[in-house]
Chain A
Amino acid sequence: MKDDVGNKQLLADYLYGDLEPGDEMEFERMISDHPELSESYHFHVKVRDYLKAKIQLEEMRSDPLLGEAEKLAEHAFDDDAEASVPGMLRKRLKYIPAVAASIALLLVVRFFIPATNPDALFSAYYTPLSATNFNQRGETDVISSEFSESIDLFNQGAYEQSIRILNQLETAQTELPEVELFQGLNYMGLEQYGKAKDFLNHYIENNTRLLPEAYWYLSLCFLKTGEYAKSRALLSRLGAYDGMYKKDAQVLERKLRRIR
């Protein structure tokens, strides 16, 4: 490991995206090999992320044209009566696939949810996967349409019905690896975490697609079943790579460290 000054320089370069990809990987290895550096890194990330948000906010708040923006914003609520009907909003979203897909990607970054107890943490972090994208492939064969139907049911929270269809697809030995992933997610919805773990584990062992999703939900299963070390191991892997679960994984992993 480099000296303290060298490490600080590296850390700042890494934080602000100034390292070359090869150096980035080397630094990530250093983080995973040196717990002290890892702890320091997470603190630096916390400071950076807060300042980033604060600067964004202050810039919007202090914009001289904020009054103008507020006037414009009033017009968005002109037809509020229509917008206040949740069903209509949902309908509107249904027909705006790009928006729905984008919103599905939006993260709940729970910086400030305290490490109270495992159940509270699970409740705070578990949201069923938003699977809008899976129904937009335009495939027309029977298997795809059945799979689509099962995803629709999953999205509606009809987990048992969704599982029934997925079981049929599994029996028919389809080439859809996501069947296993959604079986796991459905069992999570039913709070049957043992079965959920089996499916998700098997999916991870045999697939390369959608692994971040599988890691995230499997780590939550482990959290729920009290296997904190396993949960943390998965979260550490997720937290080391850029992606939609990165921030949540880092924060949750840090909170789990406090559970003995």
Chain B
Amino acid sequence: MQSYSEDILINGIRNRDDGVFKYLQVKFQDGIRLMVLEMGGRPEDAKDVFNEGLIALIRLVDKEDFKLTCKLGTLLYALCNKIWKQQIEKQTAARNYHLRKLDTTPTKDFSENYDEELFKDIFWGCFELLDTVCKEILKGYLKEISPMDIAKSLGYSYGYVRKKKSTCHSYLIQMIENNPVFVKIQNSEKELTPVQKAIAVDEG
């Protein structure tokens, strides 16, 4: 992915450069979505919060006295975090006012959500257990830094980084697949007969 300096990004926002907005989307949307989900929101909420965060960022950058004194990504995070907290406050106030809230959202399968939460904890927990070199290499790739730049910053050869990335990724997957909680959830999924699955679908 093409990389932009903060100055270019700010100018791009001011000039409504489509490429810059796409870059912000690719670079930060997943993180913001996860923040909203971790704070009890739904994917739909996350989309709205990110859009509103972008609008707030435009308003801020358009101000004549605006000066960026932190990373742009952190600013976008702060904006989205504030927007989501405001929404939670509004929702709480509305709930307090209306004693009974009418929820029209689709029925959710809470056991599956619970499993997903466990999965996420396992993914991150296993990633944290990797050795430093593996973590740095995979982090670099996940941040879409070129293998050449990762190699330079870590003092390895390009070929080593590419090969090591595959080894580290395979090791990570192996750790996840051998995690006792993960194995337990997978086994319980397999034990569900097709009939039970069909019932679960109907009940959903």
Chain A interface residues toward B at CB < 8 A: 8-9, 12-13, 15-16, 18, 43-44, 46-57, 59-61, 63, 65-66, 68-70, 72-77, 79, 83, 89, 92-93, 96-99, 101-103, 105-117, 119-120, 123-124, 258-260
Residues of B within 8 A of A258 (CB): 197, 201
Query: 9 A-B residue contacts at CB 8 Å?
Result: A18-B147, A51-B123, A51-B124, A56-B143, A83-B55, A105-B25, A106-B51, A111-B116, A119-B106
Closest residue of A by beta carbon distance from B176 = A47
Q: How far is the CA of A147 from the CA of B178 in the complex (A)?
A: 57
Contact A120 B74 (CB under 8 A): no
Docked-complex contact B139 and A65, CB < 8 angstroms: no
Given contacts A48-B142, A56-B28, contact A114 B56 (CB under 8 A): no
A53-B34, A102-B22 in contact; A44/B75 too (CB < 8 A)? Answer: no
Contact across chains for B166 and A13 when beta carbons are under 8 A apart:
yes
Q: Are B57 and A76 in contact (CB under 8 A)?
A: yes
6 interchain residue pairs of minimum CB distance: A116-B204, A56-B31, A102-B21, A98-B16, A114-B109, A120-B106
Q: Specify the chain A residue showing the minimal Cβ separation from B198.
A: A260
* Cβ contact of A54, chosen from B77, B116, B124, B197, cutoff 8 A: B124
Selected contact of B56 from candidates A76, A97, A103, A259, CB within 8 Å: A76
In angstroms, Cα B49 to Cα A104, docked, is 14
Within 8 A of A (CB), among B43-66: 43-44, 46-47, 50-51, 54-60, 63, 66
Q: Which residues of B contact A114 (CB under 8 A)?
A: 108-109, 112-113, 204
Choose one: B22, B35, B63; the contact of A75 (CB below 8 Å): B63
**Which residues on the B side are within 8 Å of A68 (C-beta)?**
69-70
Contacting A103 at CB < 8 Å: which of B43, B54, B113? B54
From A46, A53, A73, A115, give the contact of B82 (CB < 8 A): A73
B96 beta carbon closer than 8 Å to chain A: no
Within the complex, the shortest CB–CB distance from B34 to chain A, in Å, comes to 4
Residue of A nearest to B107 (CB): A116
| CB-contact partner of B142 in A51, A75, A107, A117, under 8 A | A51
Asked whether A112 and B60 contact (CB < 8 A) given A18-B147, A59-B73, the answer is no
B52–chain A nearest beta-carbon distance, Å: 9
Contacts of B158-204 to chain A: CB distance below 8 A: 162, 165-166, 169-170, 172-173, 176, 194, 197-198, 201-202, 204
A174 to chain B, nearest CB (A): 28
The answer to whether A55 touches B78 (Cβ under 8 A) is no
Residues A47 and B201 in contact, CB atoms below 8 Å apart: no
A106–B44 CA distance with the chains assembled, in angstroms: 11
Bound Cα distance from A110 to B41, whole angstroms: 12
Smallest CB separation, B113 vs chain A (Å): 6
Alpha-carbon separation in the docked complex, A69 to B78 (Å): 6
